[in-house]
């Protein structure tokens, strides 16, 4: 099992367990040579639950993701991060016009 499949399989039920609309949760894993990025997208009403008071829930999720990667893929030296995607500004782009 690859690291992307593993992280997605383990992270999805954790996040879906405490949101109101688990059917709207999308998790994307992006890998590069130096980084693994876990992107979480959910309904607008669930962002607060994922982030938690003073960011405690998201920090706990980041710790869990890091521990899973370091435990099961200890030879993988890439850094891992967890991001919450918010589509408040859907027209935003990094490309210059």
CATH of the domain at 76: 3.30.300.20
Judge whether 93 lies within some domain. Answer: no
Judge whether 23 lies within some domain. Answer: yes
Judge whether 95 lies within some domain. Answer: no
Reported as a single tens digit per residue, the pLDDT across 19-75 is: 999 999 999 999 999 999 999 999 989 999 999 999 999 999 999 999 999 999 999
DSSP 47-60: HHHHH-GGGHHHHH
Predicted pLDDT of residue 82: 94
Q: 5: alpha, beta or left, given left = phi > 0 and alpha = psi -120 to 50? A: alpha
Judge whether 92 lies within some domain. Answer: no
Judge whether 96 lies within some domain. Answer: no
Give the structural domain span for 38. Answer: 3-85
**Domain count of the chain?**
1
């Amino acid at each position: 099992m690859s690291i992307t499949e593993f992280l997605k399989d383990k992270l999805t039920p954790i996040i879906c367990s405490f949101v109101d609309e688990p059917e709207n949760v999308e998790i994307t894993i992006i890998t590069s040579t130096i980084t693994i990025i876990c992107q979480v997208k959910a309904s607008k009403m669930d962002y607060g639950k994922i982030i938690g008071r003073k960011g405690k829930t998201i920090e706990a999720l980041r710790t869990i993701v890091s521990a899973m990667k370091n435990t099961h893929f200890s030879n993988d030296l890439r850094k891992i991060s967890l991001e919450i995607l918010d589509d408040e500004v859907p027209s935003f782009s990094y490309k210059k016009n």
